[in-house]
Structures are given as structure tokens and as C-alpha cells.
Structure 1
């Protein structure tokens, strides 16, 4: 067998250097070499480009790559508060914080906190904001000022850092005239920035001269915000954590049935935790009955050995017949029609044959209210539940509860709920014992602890009140006009509104112009769009608002300087299309834009004719909000609740009459409402301490025998609503509510003012536990016939509320 002949490789293959073209080896299938040789490309030299003499020297780009992240606004809040608020004395809103979080997360990336990139960016943004006269509140408003600043800084961001050279070059592109203007408009350098860096700003070191000279927003309307019931944060009480929690789930109009139970549970928990902080329910650690201090255990009866009251769960009544107890529960009608009280553990039937309400003449009690009931449990074997004697826990227990006294839970002042007290004489904040809910944002406008002190300084500067004394008031606008039951399909109502607006223009003083004009429905006299001839259709409803627009067009100076707020009633669309004038679901949406286009057009025309100065004057606007709604002025400082409901007639139809009251009503004259009913039994002072103080009117004397009818009715309505801390303390069969939005009906914490527009009640103004409650009533008063017209027309009535003094006054004018 012949051996394969191997061809020896030439020796120059192993030499260093490239092979000549003729010595390239042939193709070899075993090594997969190509059949044709691969020749290297000839490299041509690139001709050098001569650089011009004026071209700058380019530096290598050593900037690190930025990885954008999604930065939540609440994560950036501490850094923004430290940089913007403490250092630059600016107040940031939620919208502005969201815009800054998006900018920092996009251009600073994940290294925004570790390397302090966000602080440098926010510091430059604050300087630009002050340079552009942005004011004290940094927000992302309609003027797009913050967006323009962020857009100008985008080209200057490199590697997560702000390139100062690019920023200076961009600033130097303006002309010499604009440069001089920017230097003139730049705020003076103060020592606040240097002090803030050392932490001195936390000691409330303020420059009063700087506050007086800062007149960025002289109009208080720049700090006015209308909060709809559907935009409020959903806060609920957590029993496990003993505090409020934000419910982040999506609210729907058709929730599951357990949301209805949760709404009533939340009402009970809020009243219960508020009641336990009352002085009458505070147990002392040591007993004072003996000379030696010894620990004592609270009894389960009404009053313990320490002198404090103790609430007994209804399930604990089993086996304790003949003992006295104090119950806290919801008044309901049982399946058998008996009046019962129920809590989270069970229910029991009430015997009110000998009951006495507290106070005697200023209290109303209806099913659906949470009440305090004091009496004796009688286990006589009656009213047995289907679960048996042992199964009474969680259901209706047998026997009955003989009621001695019944009262509402005492209300809690706003300062106590928020954990801060406010001294109006020295305008100082001090801490008080309370719930400590000051860090919670109840309306989405900021919390009391975060913005309260700063916004009070702004309020003092804008409104001109130094010590809340009317003698030291400046010429600033502080009035809010409340006009109720504006039935626009009645020509006399339009004449009354015209007369009211004319009265606001009678003087040329700026203090006589209102900040806000609130018009509350019903805006038609009958339910609209229900198929009846009396209510009318959509065309007639729109014509009613067109007629109002014609009246408002006669006051262009008022339209361009005032905010008009419209709160609907039960007869307004679209809810009246299904309820036919009956009680609608609360809260309810505002009036659709379909019917209000003419009013918006009239206000826009007035703003155009007024030639307002940009960034100084606040143009007029029309806001068609929900029922109920809230007016927030200066953030968490002022909160005014707007509510339209004929609540007085609903209370009278469903109120519980006690035997003693029925006896007195037969003997007393129907027109004599100032009579004090005699009582042979002296009231227990301890029980009186559990009840709230009686509301007092601002313009009445201390003698209860001299109160008039409007004040008498106002005291009863005010006490009922504020003690219950709810706008609709009724069962759903009497006043239906949307379960997922029931938090918007809560009056906890108490607002600074409450407007209850009740067309069937007289106008009144009453103050109770620091909350001013008023009812404007009907706008048209007096006769409506031809004889009344010959006597000079009718009587227009409204309420003027002063946000500086927190007092309202009923006004009248003839037309």
C-alpha cells in the first residue's frame, strides 16, 4: 500500500510578516480555507481637515449614562421640603411636586439621592421661580410657568447634573435690555437661605419686613380652591392601628354590599374614638377615694370608681339584669317596629317611656343617629331573638333597656382633632392633646402640620389682619356671598339676584367686593326632565341659565373679579330625571356643561374686557361643583362646607318624640317657642357633662328665654349635624348615599364654617364648638302677588360670611 505523499510547506510561511501574494496557500477542504485568496483592502490616508481658528476645542464626553426611573412624588417630598420650603420659603402643591418628581426621575436617574443631584436641581428651579415672580406657592397651574422652567433646564442636564456653563450661555443669549430687566426683577438676597442651611429656619425665624413687602398675590382668590366631593381623599379609621388610613382602591357607583357595612362601621369608629378622648371618659390611673393611691379597675357600669364614664358593649348586657349602663350605638327600627340601639356586638330594644333627652329643648333624635343612652337593663325574657339566649351575641338580645337619658356624642373642636391649637390674638401655634391628625390631608390641599403655619402667615399678609381685630383691617376682600334656593324659572328670583349684586357694587371700596358668590339650588322650582309639564325639559332648563347669564352680563366688573360657585339641588339634572324630585343619592354630581355654556361665555367676555394683568390679577371664573362641596381658602386654614338639603323637614318627619315632649307640645302654644318646659326632676350634672355644650348665636344674649325662632331652629340643626359629624345621619331608606363616597359627607374634623342651605327653614347664623353654621334660606322673601309689587316688590335675603372674622350675617334688600 502506498503511503500518502505529503507536500512540504515552504519555510517562509513560518517567518514573521505578511505573505506575498504569490505564496498564499491553496484551498484546503479540511481547514475550510477559501478557494480564492482574500486580499486585504488598501487603506487610503484620510486628509486632515483644517480647523478654523475660532472653533472651540472639543472635550471628550465623559458624562455618565442616566437610567431614567419612575420617582413617586411622596419619595421626593422630604428633599423638596428641605430645599424649597426651608431654604427658599416656598410652598409646593401636589401638582407641582408631581412635575418635579417626573423631571428628577427622568434626568437624574437612580443616583438622585446618593449624589445629591436632586437638591442642586431643585435649588436652581427655586431660584428661577423667584426670578420669574412665581409667588409663594410653587404649583403647576394654568399659566404653565413651572413647565416652562423645566423645559428650559432640559438642555442643561448632562449625566444627571446641571451644567452651569450651558445654563449661563442660555441666560446670556438674551439682549442687554432683558438682562437689565432680569437683574431688576431678581429678588434681593436675604439671610434666610444661609440660615436655612444651618437649620435655623426650623426655629420660626421670620423677616416681617420681607413679608410686608411681598405683594405677589394681593387677591385672596389666588388661594381659593373648590374641592368636589368626588375628589376628596378616602380616609377610613383603622381599629388595629388606631389611626386613619388612606383607601387607595377605586371607588365605584355600584360597589359590593360589604362597602355599605364598612361605611356605617367607619362612622361608629370615628365617633367612638372621639368620645374616648373626652374628659368625662378619661380614666385616672390611681383612685382618689382612699388616702393611699392604689390601682383600680374600671367597672362595666355607667360610672366607674374613678369617676369616669365607661361604655358598655351591648353583648355584655347578658346576665346583668337590673344594672345601670351607658351604651353607644345606632338608633334603628327593628324588624318588629320597635326602637332599638345597635353597636358592633349586638342590639337591644329601648323603652323610652320615662326617657329624657339632653338638652331638653335643643335636641333632635332620629333613626340613623349614633347616640349615648343611659339606663337600666331589664332581662324580663321578652323580645327573644331566634338565636336563643346564648346566641344573643351579634344579634338582638332578649329583654329591654329602660332609658333614663339620651344624648348625642359631644362634638370635638377642629384644633383638638388636628392636634394643634391656634391663638388668634398672637397668631401662634401650640400643641394640644388630641387625636393628632394634623399630618393627614383631608381635602387634598395639604395637611395642617405641613402647610398650616405658612399659610396663616400668607393669610395675615393677604387679608391684612394682624390680631383678628376688625379695627385693624386693611382694604382687602373677605366676604363670601351665599344665595340659596335660586329658582331661575321664577322672574322674581332673577330680580332678587340682580338686587343683591347691585348692593355689592354700591361702594367703590375693594373690601365691599365679594371674593366668591355661591348660588345654591334648586335652580328650578320643580324636578326637570321627568316628563311632566311643570318641570319642563332640557330646553326650558337651559333657558333658565341663559336668563341668569343675561343678568350677570350687566355686572362685568364683578364677573372679572369674582368666583361664582353653583351647587345643585334635588330638582337639577341629571339626578332629577330618575328621582322625580325626591331625595337623590348623596353626593351628587354638578350641573352638566350642556346647560351652562352661556354663563361661561359671559365670564370669559368680562375677563377679556377687563384687560387683566398677567400673573397679578386672578380672572373671574364659574365653577359648577357637586353637592356637597368644600371651599378651601389658604390651604388647610379655612374650610367651608357647602350643602344643599331640606334637612329640617326630614328631621321633623322622622324625629323620635318622647312622652314628656308630647305632653308639653299639647300644653304649649304652637307660636311660643321660647317657653322653657318645667321639669320636676333636677338634671344630673354628670350626665350633663357628657353632652355637648349648647350652640350659641353670635348676635344673641346669654338668656335662652330671649332667643328668636330662626336661632332656636338653627341651634337644633347645628347640634345634630356637628355632634354626629355627618351631613346625612339617616338610614339609606330615608336619605340614600353612595357607599364608596360616604367619606365626603363626614364633618370630621369640624370645618371652620358650614353652609346648610335649607329652603324650608328660616335664615340663621350660629356658632358651635368653633364652627360657624349658617343657612341663607330662600333668596326671595315676602309676598309674590300684585299687591306686594305695588308696595315696593319683594325681599331678597342672603348671608355674607367674613373669612377674616369667621362670622356670618343675614342681609336683606328690597327690590
Structure 2
């Protein structure tokens, strides 16, 4: 029997512990003492027993050798040879523009890493496709520049994921699922969801930018979950302070997301940035208008039109600074109307300011829009130097503050023509109609944070067709689920307002199950006066009691509370901002009513959902109450439908601050002996017919009532005269709508008239044009108007002025069959 030797007495340890001569520590033996090191076999299993001398260094597990990269023989690929393939991939497919330097970089990269198989094996096409996708993921812009660090970084990353000229996939290669899938939520029942399938998941702009080429992804045509069958699940209310902020980059000709954090007290330079961004957005929109294009094709077309007797011509915008030294010449200016410190009117652009003389100016078309300081307008006239204006009392020509000498004598003034939503986004119509647009536009920009029109739009249109359009066509007489009931100003301090609201809700509570409206919009001012600014025994206590009374009214309709979304838009008299403004104009956008006053209304919704056995609204079931900002937006089916909610007395503010112009004819309010048409008629202002006498954009045209039955029949001269004398309410509605949509801005006034938070000015943009605009203006007549594809509605006040016991509201159907659009409705209570 051999005794087991202790590890302390092992030969190696004894030698290490044997004291040397005169040393207290053990000296290590020379390296040659143990002989050469021999590698242990891969199959050796180390033992934990000390008798078998466990090695000091553990053995590494066996690893198979890494496969060697396939060798590629580099070639010299001329850029001209690669140009057709690059043009087809970047320009035709992804709407990008390659510079010569970028084409040279790509040709060098493909020749080095793809070799001679770049054409036969299709290696170059795959590389170009990956570069284009990654470039758009990083928001590189429309123009791909070879000197940009983004392109070099993309090629460097792609180089490490290529083998044998092919792009690797898997753990070491580029992931194909991350760009097309959403991350899983915390809910274990929610698996990874493909982009655009789950409306409850916030689709950020980055998600929309990573969805390029999603048409090749296999996606189920119908959502499987039962909760997605309801139209309301595809609706989202977007807060103005949560909306993505964009600025227009003139160099890249693209909108870029603002990365800096916004502030309610920004530096003064942000005020200039807000004006510059607004001017650039209108300027680029105007240059894409046909009347301002000067290409060879357009010039040939205009020459042919002149030969045929047409007065249409191409216009050119002159910067203000370029007027110096050009006395007596005719120019067209684009700038903002401003008031100089001297009190005179002037026009200002990014280059300078010049005094205006509008004593002989005429609006084109006449009386079609308002013109107030703060608006960006087009003015056609003649520049006159100081020598011609000496002694006429015109000040503001000293050159101080960027104001150049002389004055500009304006003869024609007009609004910059707006652009249809489809043309701005560069996408085709819903049904592929005549408005099909190829390339261009900003379809890849996610303006609302719900996905871009080109990435998510096609998928959302299929869902919309299945959920809304097909049932509407099957039974056009039944009330649709996709309706939005818009109630105007609701003054809770007037008991008759609650009675009118109760009557309106009772009409919709009797609808069949599954046919109730999906949303109700209630707008302020919720009090006639600024109660919060009064103090005394009222104030916040009285203000909260008004909402408690509203909660009691809503509690009588549990069916609507469990099947609809109630959206509340505040006014200037609502808290907290009215506590220091006293009901005056407050900065836009303004925050919603605080939860302190609306807690009982939310408890009413929670109680109704609990009684019906529905889950909480956070899981996507049951009704809910949303207190949003002013303005705010509703997204329906992603970017396909955008509804802007805005509460402001814009019409009264326009009348107070407008510039008086020379008028040729007086406006006739109503025709003698002609009955006033019904207020429920839809006024259509679509079309872009050129005006022969207009020197401005051809989109500034007269507009007619939408009366299809009379339009098909020949009319007598007497009837034509009656049609020209439209009612004053119709003219006022057209004038208001055209002003706002042409400006593309909800508050086109001076900061002293309508303050705006500079860092949140992009939330007031109407560009691209929304599909619908809900403008609650009690100083304007109620109307439903369509202009350039945008449906504008004004319900006014819920109580009809001068008619006791009559309530008015607007019922809007954004999608559906023949009943699509808004219509005014009235009832007695």
C-alpha cells in the first residue's frame, strides 16, 4: 500500500522550501530544472485530488479554428461604370442624391472588397442597398456627400462585416431584425412587434427611419389581437410639448430633428432661430411651386403658354439686400410684415428690412385673406431710393438695424400659396389617384413621432381599409365607429351649457353597440371669465366645482365612458395660466388643465370601466379622459390622418391687427331676396386655377360652394350673379381658412399680440398640411371648409347665439364612405 503524500511534502514544494545558503527564503530553481514544457492533450481532464498534482494553470477548452476569410482580388472600378447602378439604388429607390465624391468613395470601396464579382454576383447592389439604408437611418439628409464623416463611418463599419465580398449576417454580422422590430415591452405577453402593428407602442422617429424597405418583410395582413379590431386603438393624442421638434436645413434641403433640450426661458437667439426656421420652410415650399420654377422645361412650357395668349409667367424672389442700387426696377419680395420703431410698416427677410408703402397695394385675389404684421407675405412692386422719397415724411431709411435706405412701393400683395399634403410628403394618394407623386418630398420624416408616411403609411392604409372602409361600403346607412364629435366652447359656469351637452351625449348613447363615436372633443374656455384671477371666495375652489358638475353629467352615460375617448382642450381663461394673465392672450402652446381640478372626472371614467368589467386604459381597453395641450394633434392610423385641435379667437385678432388695403369693389354680404343657405353646407376651396390678372402665385384663386347638383346644370346670367354674391359668413370662413393654411402657422401675429414659446414654435406649424383642422373660434361663424385637401371645421360655441334652447356641434368622419368629412349639427334641449 502506497501512502498518499501530503502536498506540503511534494518534491516540488520541498525544493522550493529548501533554504539556500544564507537565505531565509526559498530560491526558485532555474527554468531548465523541470525540462521543456509539454502541452497537455486536449482530452486531459484535471483532477481535484492533490495526489494527481492538479496543474497550476487550468486548461482552456478546445476551440475550433476560425474560418479564414475568403480572399478577394481587388480591382479598379471606375465611378462612371458604377453610376447607373448607384443611381438606380440611391435615387430611384431611396430618393437620395449622390455627389461625385461619394460615388468615387463607393466605387473604391466596392472595387477593393467585392472584386470582379461586383456585377455578376450582385455584390455591389447589396453593398449600395446597405449603405443607402444606413445613411437614412442616421438621417444623413437627401444629399450623400463623400467628404461627410457619416459615410466614412458607414463604410468602415461595413468593411468589418464583409467576407468574400458578401455582407455577413448573424452574431458577427449586421442584424436584419433590429431595424424592423420593436423592442419587447415589460409585459411578458407582448412579444416583439413589427413596426406599425401595435398602436399602443410609441413609434419614435428613429423607429420610422429604421423601417426602410419594410415592404419586403413578411407581415400578417390582419392583426390577430381582438383589441386591435377597434378603430379607437389606432388613435393617439399627441401633446404639443411631446411632439418632435424639427428645423429646416437649407444646405441639406431637409428637416432635421432638434437635439437640444427645449426650455420655457430660452436665450434671445432662439427667437431669431424661430423666425429663420419659419421663413425657410415657406421659402422652400414656394420654390417648389410651379410658378417659381425656372428650369429649362418650365421655361419652354411658359414660352408656349405666352404664344397661346396666356399671361402666366415665372416669378423670381429678390432678397431685400439686393435692392440697393436698383432704383425704379420691379421686384417680388418674400418677407415678414413688421412695424418699425417709428411706427411705419416694413418687410423683413433674412438679408435685411425695407420700409413699405402699401397705399396703392391690392390683394390678389381681392379680399381673399388677411394681412397682419407677423405674417410672411409676397409683395410685388417697385424699389425707390432715398432721392425719390426726400421730403415725403417716410422714416426708417437710415440703415439702422438692418433697414436699407429707400422704400418699396407695393402694388400687389398675396399669401404664399400652400402645398397639398401629398405633394409635401411625396407619396401617392390613398387610392392611387391622379395626385400620385414620384420621389421628392419629406415622406421619410416622422413629424409626429408615430412613424413616417412612407415607412408606416402603406401598412396603416391596409388596416384602415379593412377596419373602416369595407364596413362603411357594406352598410353606408349605419352610423360609423370612426366618428369624432367636436363640441365647441363649453362654459361650465352656465347651466344651459351642461344641459346642451347632456342632450348631445344622449343622442349618441342610443347608437347600436359598436357604432358609438370613438372620440369626443370638448374645448374651453371652460369658464366665461378668468375665475382663477378673481381671488376672494371663488378662485380655485369655484373652478373645481365646475368640473365636478361636469363629472356628474358624464356619469349619466356609462356606455360612452367605456367606449370613447374624451379629449379636453383648454382656453385662455383656464388654469393655471389665467391666474396671472386675467384672460388675456397667453403664450402658445399652453399646458392642459391641472389634475387637481379634473380628478373627479377621471374617477368617473375609472368607475364606469370597473363596473363594465373592463381593464384599465393602460392596457388598451375601456374609455379614457385625456387633458391635452392647446394646440394638440390626433393621429389616426399612424401618419395617414392628422387632426389638429386649436382653441383661439383668431378671427377677432385678425380684424383688430390687419393692414387696410386699397379695395376695388365692396364686399356684398348677401344677395337681395336670396335665402341664406344652410350652415351645414360644406364649402370647398380646392383647385389651383391660375388667375389671368394675378402676377403672383397661381394658387391664389376664387372659391365656390360645394354644390355638385347645380354645378352640372347650365345656369342663367341671373343665377351667375346670385352665385357671385355669397353670404358674408361664407366669405369670412374662406378668408380665415386661407390665411391660416397659406401661412402654415397657427399664430401668424407679432409676439406682442400672440406670444409663442420660441423653443416650441414647431408645434404650431401646419406643414405638412394636416388632414383636418379643428379651429374653435367663437368670433367666427361656424363652418366646414375644405382647402387644398385640408378639412377645416369650426363648431363655435355649443350654445347658439340668439337662439334659445339650441345646441350646435360638428360631427366629423375622418375615414369611411360617402359621409366622410365634417357637418354641422343642431338640436334643441
Aligned counterpart for 1:453 among listed residues 452, 458, 478? 458
**Distance (whole Å) between structure 2 residues aligned to residue 362 and residue 672 of structure 1:** 22
Residue of structure 1 equivalent to 2:231: 220
**Distance (whole Å) between structure 2 residues aligned to residue 556 and residue 761 of structure 1:** 34
Residue by residue over 1:312-349, the C-alpha shift from the partner in whole angstroms, topping out at 9 and shown as x without a partner, is 11122222222211111111112221121111122222
Check 1:227–1:473 CA distance in 2 against 1; reply closer, same or farther (3 A cut).
Answer: farther
Instruction: Kindly indicate whether residue 28 of structure 2 is the aligned counterpart of residue 32 of structure 1.
Output: no
Q: 1:528 Cα deviation (Å)?
A: 2.3
Unaligned runs of 5+ in 2: 1-8, 28-46, 53-59, 65-129, 138-167, 203-211, 305-310, 677-689, 712-719
Residue of structure 2 equivalent to 1:539: 541
**Distance (whole Å) between structure 1 residues aligned to residue 179 and residue 295 of structure 2:** 54
Q: What SS is found at the alignment partner of 1:740?
A: helix
Check 1:506–1:27 CA distance in 2 against 1; reply closer, same or farther (3 A cut).
Answer: closer
Q: 1:708 Cα deviation (Å)?
A: 3.3
| TM-score where L is the length of structure 1 | 0.71
Residue of structure 1 equivalent to 2:404: 397
Q: 1:407 Cα deviation (Å)?
A: 0.5
Residue of structure 2 equivalent to 1:422: 429
Q: What SS is found at the alignment partner of 1:438?
A: coil
Residue of structure 1 equivalent to 2:654: 651
Aligned counterpart for 1:267 among listed residues 259, 269, 278? 278
Q: Once superposed, what is the RMSD of the aligned Cα atoms?
A: 4.5
Instruction: Kindly indicate whether residue 628 of structure 2 is the aligned counterpart of residue 628 of structure 1.
Output: no
**Distance (whole Å) between structure 1 residues aligned to residue 589 and residue 381 of structure 2:** 37
| TM-score where L is the length of structure 2 | 0.70
Q: 1:287 Cα deviation (Å)?
A: 9.1
**Distance (whole Å) between structure 2 residues aligned to residue 637 and residue 403 of structure 1:** 41
**Distance (whole Å) between structure 2 residues aligned to residue 431 and residue 591 of structure 1:** 42
Instruction: Kindly indicate whether residue 323 of structure 2 is the aligned counterpart of residue 312 of structure 1.
Output: no
Q: What SS is found at the alignment partner of 1:464?
A: helix
Residue of structure 1 equivalent to 2:823: 809
Residue of structure 2 equivalent to 1:486: 490
Q: What SS is found at the alignment partner of 2:809?
A: strand
Larger Rg computed on CA atoms: 1
Check 1:31–1:331 CA distance in 2 against 1; reply closer, same or farther (3 A cut).
Answer: same
Check 1:365–1:289 CA distance in 2 against 1; reply closer, same or farther (3 A cut).
Answer: same
**Distance (whole Å) between structure 1 residues aligned to residue 181 and residue 428 of structure 2:** 33
**Distance (whole Å) between structure 1 residues aligned to residue 640 and residue 669 of structure 2:** 45
**Distance (whole Å) between structure 2 residues aligned to residue 543 and residue 365 of structure 1:** 42
**Distance (whole Å) between structure 2 residues aligned to residue 498 and residue 813 of structure 1:** 11
Map 1:204-283 onto structure 2 (within 5 A): 211=222, 217-283=228-294
Q: What SS is found at the alignment partner of 2:315?
A: coil
Map 1:496-515 onto structure 2 (within 5 A): 496-508=500-512, 510-511=514-515, 513-515=516-518
**Distance (whole Å) between structure 2 residues aligned to residue 245 and residue 635 of structure 1:** 20
Aligned counterpart for 2:499 among listed residues 495, 505, 510? 495
Instruction: Kindly indicate whether residue 689 of structure 2 is the aligned counterpart of residue 685 of structure 1.
Output: no
Residue of structure 2 equivalent to 1:114: 172
Is the 2:632–2:646 Cα contact (8 Å) retained in structure 1? yes
**Distance (whole Å) between structure 1 residues aligned to residue 559 and residue 289 of structure 2:** 50
**Distance (whole Å) between structure 2 residues aligned to residue 476 and residue 807 of structure 1:** 12
Aligned counterpart for 2:736 among listed residues 710, 713, 717? 717
Instruction: Kindly indicate whether residue 377 of structure 2 is the aligned counterpart of residue 375 of structure 1.
Output: no
Check 1:453–1:541 CA distance in 2 against 1; reply closer, same or farther (3 A cut).
Answer: same
Map 1:780-791 onto structure 2 (within 5 A): 780-783=799-802, 788=804
Is the 1:329–1:342 Cα contact (8 Å) retained in structure 2? yes
Map 1:134-173 onto structure 2 (within 5 A): none
Map 1:710-789 onto structure 2 (within 5 A): 710-783=729-802, 788=804
Q: How many residues align?
A: 650
Q: 1:507 Cα deviation (Å)?
A: 3.1
Q: 1:404 Cα deviation (Å)?
A: 1.4
**Distance (whole Å) between structure 2 residues aligned to residue 21 and residue 377 of structure 1:** 108
Is the 2:480–2:517 Cα contact (8 Å) retained in structure 1? no
Map 1:566-577 onto structure 2 (within 5 A): 566-577=568-579
Check 1:520–1:131 CA distance in 2 against 1; reply closer, same or farther (3 A cut).
Answer: closer
**Distance (whole Å) between structure 1 residues aligned to residue 728 and residue 317 of structure 2:** 36
Check 1:62–1:268 CA distance in 2 against 1; reply closer, same or farther (3 A cut).
Answer: farther
Q: What SS is found at the alignment partner of 2:379?
A: strand
**Distance (whole Å) between structure 1 residues aligned to residue 293 and residue 460 of structure 2:** 34
Map 1:78-89 onto structure 2 (within 5 A): none
Instruction: Kindly indicate whether residue 334 of structure 2 is the aligned counterpart of residue 325 of structure 1.
Output: no
Is the 2:669–2:726 Cα contact (8 Å) retained in structure 1? no
**Distance (whole Å) between structure 2 residues aligned to residue 543 and residue 710 of structure 1:** 37
Q: 1:76 Cα deviation (Å)?
A: 15
Residue of structure 2 equivalent to 1:406: 413
Is the 2:524–2:571 Cα contact (8 Å) retained in structure 1? yes
